[in-house]
Structure 1
Amino acid sequence: MADPIRIPDDLKPVDGRFGSGPSKVRPEGVAALSRVATTFMGTSHRQRTVKDQVARLRAGIAQFFSAPDGYEVIISNGGTSAFWETAAFGLIRDKAQFAEFGEFGAKFAKAVRDAPFLAEPTVHKAPAGSAAYLTAEAGVDTYASVQNETSTGVAVPVQRVAGADPGALVLTDATSGGGSIDVDLTQTDVYYLAPQKAFGSDGGLWIALMSPAAIARAHEIKESGRYIPQFLDLVTAVEQSRLEQTYNTPALATVFLAAEQVDWMNAQGGLGWAAKRSAESAAAIYGWADRSEVASPFVTDPALRSHAVATIDFADSVDAAQLAKVLRANGIVDTEPYRKLGRNQLRIALYPTVDPADVEALTRCIDYVIHKS
């Protein structure tokens, strides 16, 4: 049996966490949480101790994304999957249109297709590794797309649909793109994300920046008499967020770690800084893959290559699954591809928590393992 491959320490990244979600949590955030463990953890989410942290997170998100006048930061439990159901109940009047080019856009479209009180949605599909786009369609009251497809590493601009019916809403899934890719929020009505990606926390929450039009739509639908489960009631989420709390008890550590992360990113320079840092990591991994004889970016169009999540294909001579195992044995973790994509590739998170120098080091480690295999 061959000896295990040991990567020299001087080649390794300082931090070997490259997971696309849950993602790297900064040690400084964990240390800050530890310092408030006896005064924050295990306390009522209706008390000021917790409300202050919810307020800090909401204010930090608004600052980070330069929220336009009237846009509100809404927080609730359940993660992005819960938000898809919340939107189906509380934002779509009747007919929606989707741009589907990966696993996560497909899940939202399915949730709407399965809702018996909504019309059959229009779905524009594109193969994995490419992008689909929204187009104006009479009768569509809600358009939905993904800014960054976590499963494939494809990113598209956030923009309104030219020629759409007056009052139509645009919903943008920013689960993995938010915080790593620049955005103009005036181009969307709901920009929703989860804190376990660029915002360096744990899962269990959804966070949405909502326009006045989106909030008005939520009230309109609720007042129409549609049945809405209390847990998925968007108006309730809005009202509770304005009180700096959630309807159900949130994971307090998640709230605190997300607030720590967004404060850290704002202190560095906000979204402009974060997007630039992620772009530097993207340049490192894609540049290496373009030069490699055995690796290549899965997304062939450079304009579509994500600055949040990179997917790298390997030639048949390289077993990417085994490569990921060797990396993991050497403390370089969570580089495995998205399971349902089924490709011979690695998937690398490029979120602002990841130091571009560590991405450079990762490429050296990959080369070393391939050479030694």
Structure 2
Amino acid sequence: MTVTDIRIPDAIKPVDGRFGSGPSKVRPEGVEALSAVSRTFMGTSHRQATVKDHVARLRRGLGEFFSMPDGYEVILSNGGTSAFWEVATFGLVREKAQFAEFGEFGAKFVQAVTDAPFLAEPTVHRAPGGQAAYLTAEAGVDVYATVQNETSTGVAVPVRRVEGADRGALLLTDATSGGGSLDVDVRETDVYYLAPQKALGSDGGIWLALMSPAAIERAFEIKATKRYIPQFLDLVTAIEQSRLEQTYNTPALATVFLAAEQVDWMNAQGGLSWAVKRSAESAAAIYGWADRSSFAEPFVTDPALRSAAVATIDFAEGIDAAQIAKVLRANDVVDTEPYRKLGRNQLRVALYPTVDPSDVTALTTCIDYVVERLS
């Protein structure tokens, strides 16, 4: 029997079979809302109220969702998280940074700072995939950076300031895939940055950051030193434009609108506490199934580190996860493939608030069904 011959009964399939870790599931209601305003919103100037009102809606909604502390601001600009790593390299690291690296995405920020000729060699605490690395106080470090949720491995860590850090040192938290699914007290960090194509259930193309007064002050301080900063990566420009409810260049309008719709929806359900609970229910469903399974197990062995945003599940020798993913995809259950560079015999499943926990349970039933027929 080939993978294309296996048909999963409709009765056991998820209602919505999208489990991508990013781009993630976009709620049909959001797309319908975008369609309803498309003639007055899409293809219009981003410097006019038609668009600026939705940028303001998104910024206001995120502030409410994360219970943003007084003085913090929601800043956004174009380019996604990859661009933000460069933005932070030019505009937030004064001289020396320290990183906690435990996956592919944390490593990319490390590389950006390492390659910058105007910065000192960073200190990097590393841990292998499936484990976590942690920051430690170090004299002379003016920026600490870590990942809340490592998208490539499914490891999540709490957001906490570095005890004993030099006065004025900033903490930057990569919440690209954790923001919106994992609990956080934003006061514990200076920059909490995320992407719209994960828990925010939108498309890609912009970055978003909740920034403390200290982080904003640092950006202006560095700008005043006359350090060369490419205009597209200028954090001060992003701050000033965000205060005007716009971006320096034309943003992806659909992305802004869909993200605003998603944030409004999550706030209406109960905000961050609701979203965290919903993601936790999905996590309990898939990790509980894996713990009971005779052929699958969570890749992250420490339960305290298992992400409630992205789950990675290893399969026993003789069970081909790639084949399982192919069968699932042929049956409209999609984007369960593992992160390509991790190179493991596993599946990766998004647990964002857009994903219904009952669909995660249905996914595990489908996997059991497929494995039985592939054996």
Specify the alignment match of 1:74 in structure 2: 75
The one-letter amino acid of 1:19's match is G
**Rounded Cα–Cα distance in structure 2 between residues aligned with 1:320 and 1:76:** 38
Specify the alignment match of 1:6 in structure 2: 7
1:152 aligns with 2:153: yes
Specify the alignment match of 1:96 in structure 2: 97
**Rounded Cα–Cα distance in structure 1 between residues aligned with 2:159 and 2:118:** 28
Specify the alignment match of 2:317 in structure 1: 316
Specify the alignment match of 1:296 in structure 2: 297
Specify the alignment match of 2:278 in structure 1: 277
Specify the alignment match of 2:351 in structure 1: 350
Equivalent pairs, count: 373
**Rounded Cα–Cα distance in structure 2 between residues aligned with 1:79 and 1:239:** 18
**Rounded Cα–Cα distance in structure 2 between residues aligned with 1:53 and 1:74:** 14
User: Which residues of 2 match residues 124-273 of structure 1 at below 5 A?
Assistant: 124-273=125-274
5+ residue gaps in structure 2?
none
Q: What secondary structure is seen at the aligned counterpart in 1 of 2:166? A: coil
**Rounded Cα–Cα distance in structure 1 between residues aligned with 2:306 and 2:287:** 9
Using the size of structure 1 for normalisation, the TM-score is 1.00
* Residue 207 of structure 1, CA deviation: 0.1
The one-letter amino acid of 2:11's match is D
* Residue 372 of structure 1, CA deviation: 1.1
* Residue 16 of structure 1, CA deviation: 0.1
Q: Identical aligned pairs, as a percentage?
A: 82
The one-letter amino acid of 1:53's match is H
* Residue 151 of structure 1, CA deviation: 0.1
**Rounded Cα–Cα distance in structure 2 between residues aligned with 1:229 and 1:210:** 21
* Residue 316 of structure 1, CA deviation: 1.0
Specify the alignment match of 2:332 in structure 1: 331
The one-letter amino acid of 2:259's match is A
* Residue 111 of structure 1, CA deviation: 0.1
Q: What secondary structure is seen at the aligned counterpart in 1 of 2:75? A: strand
User: Which residues of 2 match residues 9-28 of structure 1 at below 5 A?
Assistant: 9-28=10-29
The one-letter amino acid of 2:279's match is S
* Residue 84 of structure 1, CA deviation: 0.3
RMSD: 0.6
**Rounded Cα–Cα distance in structure 2 between residues aligned with 1:265 and 1:120:** 41
Q: What secondary structure is seen at the aligned counterpart in 2 of 1:73? A: strand
**Rounded Cα–Cα distance in structure 2 between residues aligned with 1:372 and 1:339:** 25
1:62 aligns with 2:76: no
* Residue 317 of structure 1, CA deviation: 1.6
1:368 aligns with 2:369: yes
Q: What secondary structure is seen at the aligned counterpart in 2 of 1:316? A: coil
**Rounded Cα–Cα distance in structure 1 between residues aligned with 2:10 and 2:211:** 46
**Rounded Cα–Cα distance in structure 2 between residues aligned with 1:331 and 1:77:** 32
What CA deviation, in whole Å up to 9, does each residue of 1:289-324 have, x standing for no partner? 000000000000000000000000000121000000
